[in-house]
Structure 1
């Protein structure tokens, strides 16, 4: 018993020692911000200074005052053209998000980050003073977000480096000094610096990241800055439909057919019936989109939110934007609709007089492939021929009436306001009548052959010659046939006897 107690005590001491050395495991969950339009910029500033040849920027370069020597490299956007201003705004939004993260590590006063126990793990490092990186460098290890929030300047010594290991990515490393940033020569750096106090990059620095100093100055000197290749973050577009009926209108949000297109092509989920707040959400890649609707001549239209007045919006990675379309019913005679507006109204009628149960909503309607709603007037380009179709049901007979022909087609020209009605009448169950029934064939049953029977010794009656009649048909009886044979044989026999006597 003493031995068991002793062993138990030893095990418990070992466990306590292990947990004492390891300590509690803390998981930090800093979040990588959305950079939006700033994501593609290697340099973003008010003034960009570069006086030496040899600087390479692989990424967009944004400025209002340009450099004496143009850097080499690949940059789709250069200067102050779009999306320069939007990128500047997105830089500010990203900085606000970074400043809103809670501190995981608090470092008081001026701090040499290279003197901290290495490697550093993901989290938010809050420095209440200037931060520097010495020649021994900093190593970031582990996948996750690294945020260095610095209440002062950021500097590096010559030949200093920031290295990444164990899944750490330059896409997720951010530095936010409140004072100027200065790199000494031959530095190796990783991550995005956001701060408008100015960024000066020493000669021959190799940097994977971004120098975002919108409103400030970025200075380079025979350096190479490369924007990291990061995973695309889908943008979200919320489309909200508002309907105002203050002049007798009765339409609802779903009465309007909404579309989201890119270069005229509908995105996934478009078109769709309108929806009031929070609306319909679309997950989209970075691009320019147009929000539109099949207009109703009885309602005026206006756009608000993040769309422009024509419904156009440009989305960048990670955006979450909202576009609102408001339709207000038009009072009697207060607004004159131009005669050039050409419209088509499709009406669906369903007749259930033979047990059918389908409703109007069970038959999706289309005009040249675009979804429309029964009873809603929609504007279409002219002049053009349109085909009105539906998702048919074989249990209903379809017919067209109104302005379309029997095939559901109509021609639309300037000023036309046409209506096409599709009627579906359920088909009753009709009993089948067979005019000339055919006797059902009797199945043939195969019987296995019987065992061989030895020949019989009984006499076999001679068969009479065939008369040419079917046994079931009426024929001459056998008695009459025998009489005829006898009458023929008797005269023949007499003739033979007489011949013998003469001889």
Structure 2
């Protein structure tokens, strides 16, 4: 190379900086210039083999010396970096190229001083660095088409495409129309295969690369700096030459986001017909279209190679073209499902009850916990439910670990309460209703309060009872109960036959218009007559059905009682009401009533004749 690129000069700059920063091996011939300023001169060699060269010197020297003062010299026998102190002067720079193969350039480049060709003028600068660059020169190759239309053909060189394809690299492959005049840099010491597109009715001759390149058949191998022209002649010969071309579709699949597809999962097509990937498909000359069926989860790039981005390609007879397309898997943004309790609330059952948890998508629920416990709860309460969840579609949905599924509530149930009131004859002692409240398993529950049913006085009591659950699994409850402390009553006294109490007697029949003495006693539980707190009430008798029985009772004419209250006879310890029957219809049964202050109503039937 005749000049250094900017990047090379930057390299040299950094190279020099590295030299000055590190320890250096110095070979300096002693000299005596005590009165002159000296310069630290560094020389080095860099070999660049970027065009196929392989030069690697091990014994070629480099040096810088002053012809006017031969003792002022910096020398390296093998080209290694060397530094020495030198006085001012014009120093010749020498690179031993005796062992360098053809095809290399040798160029000195100095930083500091004044470079004059392969010399550097040093004027007392602190530092000067001179580097020689031995760079391989890329060989150049041009392909030329010659067309022989002696027998009548009309094709020109432009109708052919000429191609050079390296066997070990693709960076410097090239294709030109046959009439191109371009030279192309190629890699040295690399075998290139020469080919061309075909044309019907033209027969191809052999490639001719002259004597410069190293040609073997349709291959050529160039050395550094060689310039080679390879020519092929096609002669018009009706009936000869190819009539079809080939098109190969190549698939590249990128699975950098978890995809698992390969080329066989995509269908290649040419002009709508299915074809195999990486197979040369023979086609008639003309316009064709490459296409494919894509997969969900993959994005297709544009067509490349010999195809336009939309897959369009023109094919000549004898041409072999290749089109490529890349499909890249798309990163899936997974959705986070949710889980929820589906059977809340439930009612307390006395046994453990489990939440039914389901996901918003199909999957498996596991490790259900209630307020952090794996045990299903029994008691009433609201429990925070968490669970693990693995979706069936793991490609599109995330797993859940210890995810909230909401609350699972066990509600209180009703107890079975049965309370019985009492009806007792007054004895002066307190009495209380009886009963119990049972749980879900028939167990007796604490919390039934019957204190409001306790009484010892004569009365009818419309009481209430309450149940308050002390455990928390049952609803509170309450209800009414009638409690009754009454008088003892043995029936109405003579002259009335009370057949409800005096078994075997006939109903009493009195003479119409007479006075009927209605008598009775009320007693305590021991059978002792007692006086009520308030007088019993006489209720107007009710006429009943007709009767034909004879008078069996005596005629009474005592003065009738007026008003609606019985009178108390303290001597006989009884109540009496003299009922006047004057004006009442005879030949009928009549029902007599008395209302006691214990809330009871007593009655008896008599006849009037």
TM-score normalized by the length of structure 2: 0.23
Q: Which structure has more helix as a fraction of its residues?
A: 1
Q: Which has the higher contact order (CA 8 A, sep 6+)?
A: 1
Q: Which structure has more strand as a fraction of its residues?
A: 2
TM-score normalized by the length of structure 1: 0.27
Give the structure with higher Rg (CA): 2
